[in-house]
Amino acid sequence: MDLKNEPQKTDQLSGSSRFGLTFWTQIIVITFLLIAGLAYAASILIPLALALLLFVLITAIVDRVSLLKIGSIRMPSWLAHIISLGIVSLGLLGVLSILSNQAGDVAEAFPRYEQRFSQILSRVVALVGDKNYAAAESALSDLDISALASGAISSAGAFLSALFLVLLYLPFMMVERAPMNKKLELVARDAEFREKLRKILSSVSVSLQRYVGIKSLVSLITGLGSYAFMKPVGLDFAETWAVLAFMLNFIPTIGSILGVAVPALVALVQFDTVTPFLIILCGCGGVQFVVGNILEPALTGRSLNLSPLMVILALTFWTAIWGMAGALLSVPITVCFLIVMSHIPATRTIAILMSGDGNLLDDVPSDTDREASR
């Protein structure tokens, strides 16, 4: 009896092992195709993701502006949309104006900065001996700062050209916002599924609005605060470095360091004395410290409950795929994944591991609740 059942058991074991191998092979292939698709379709997906980020920012401003009252009359929805679009458009035009006017001058100045930087570094290294000086001189000859600057400027140019698609997507997203709720009701016939879908979308919307709104505000404060130290000193292209500090503040950890290091190094090679370098280093560093460690945590609270390790991993992954744009979008994309997975029983464990303290924000007010509270 046992001998007769033995081949059947063997076939079941081999079948389960084959199923397991096939399953993981499919997972690996799907993951590889997904990553390859994200990389190859970057020219289409990056403008779309940036448009979604700006759309979230506009809707966050619309929700705040619509709470205002003119006397006893509530702000009309159409006027709130116009004001919000005007604020975002003026901000974009300001950034584009600064970058377009000073990008060429910055590129022309980099060879001069490179020569000056090499002289300063050679003097410093000469103090440690001839052997170390020769090694440093060889390393400097291999370091082409002009090529790095040209690459950064070309990346900025590509980013600016992508803004055309971003501005093309935005109006259609704004028009689609109102009928989307009706479409969801038609798609989700089951009341329980419709409520669960509404809860997920509301959680994503509220969390992203908090993140984008607060991050834009603190980044603006960072850029203006840095500019207040750079301009009085007479730093070249202070407006460009202020815009750079504003944009880099969206990149976790590394962005704050670069926002201080770049203008400080420019001050070091521009001036003959070390005083402007110390003023910008301490001033911009102080602004970054106050904003990043005091102001932003006080405003953000628990709206983004992400693990610091998860933030760094997301930053590394999306930067490798999409470059600078991926670094800017790494946190919002990760927040979306965290919220969606927290509402799916099969992936809730992963969401808990991705969170900062294991407590997921499930009770997020819906759009209807917020309208009722106004």
**Complete DSSP assignment for 243-276:** HHHHHHTTSTTHHHHHHHHHHHHHHHHH-SSSHH
Distance, in Å, from the CA atom of 368 to the CA atom of 358, rounded to the nearest integer, reads 28
Read off the pLDDT band of 123 (50, 70, 90). low
Residue 286, pLDDT above cutoff 90: yes
State the pLDDT at residue 278: 92
- Assign 64 to helix, strand or coil: helix
With beta carbons less than 8 A apart as the criterion, state whether 25 and 31 touch.
no
Regarding pTM above 0.95, the answer is: no
Mean pLDDT is lowest, of 60-69, 303-312, 323-332, for: 303-312
List Cα–Cα distances, 22 to 8, 15, 288, in angstroms.
Answer: 21, 10, 50
Read off the pLDDT band of 80 (50, 70, 90). confident
Tokens of 360: 């997921």
Mean pLDDT is lowest, of 53-67, 148-162, 172-186, for: 148-162
Residue 372, pLDDT above cutoff 50: no
Quick: pLDDT tens for 12-64.
444 444 445 677 788 788 888 888 888 888 888 888 888 888 888 888 888 88
Residue 127, pLDDT above cutoff 80: no
Residue 224, pLDDT above cutoff 90: yes
Q: Which of 50-54, 128-132, 201-205 has the largest mean confidence?
A: 50-54
Distance, in Å, from the CA atom of 62 to the CA atom of 83, rounded to the nearest integer, reads 8
Mean confidence (pLDDT) of the chain: 76
The mean pLDDT value for 308-328 works out to 85
Residue 71, pLDDT above cutoff 50: yes
Alpha helices in the chain (DSSP H): 2-40, 42-65, 77-126, 130-142, 145-187, 191-233, 238-248, 254-270, 275-290, 296-300, 308-322, 324-342, 348-354, 367-373
Residue 156, pLDDT above cutoff 70: no
With beta carbons less than 8 A apart as the criterion, state whether 338 and 306 touch.
yes
Residue 153, pLDDT above cutoff 70: no
The mean pLDDT value for 124-136 works out to 58
State the pLDDT at residue 152: 52
- Assign 306 to helix, strand or coil: strand
With beta carbons less than 8 A apart as the criterion, state whether 263 and 280 touch.
yes
The mean pLDDT value for 170-189 works out to 77
Distance, in Å, from the CA atom of 219 to the CA atom of 215, rounded to the nearest integer, reads 6
Distance, in Å, from the CA atom of 160 to the CA atom of 352, rounded to the nearest integer, reads 37
Quick: pLDDT tens for 269-285.
888 888 999 999 999 99
- Backbone angle region of 262, left / alpha / beta, with phi > 0 → left and psi within -120 to 50 → alpha: alpha
The residue behind tokens 């690996």 is 28
Distance, in Å, from the CA atom of 155 to the CA atom of 149, rounded to the nearest integer, reads 10
Residue 249, pLDDT above cutoff 50: yes
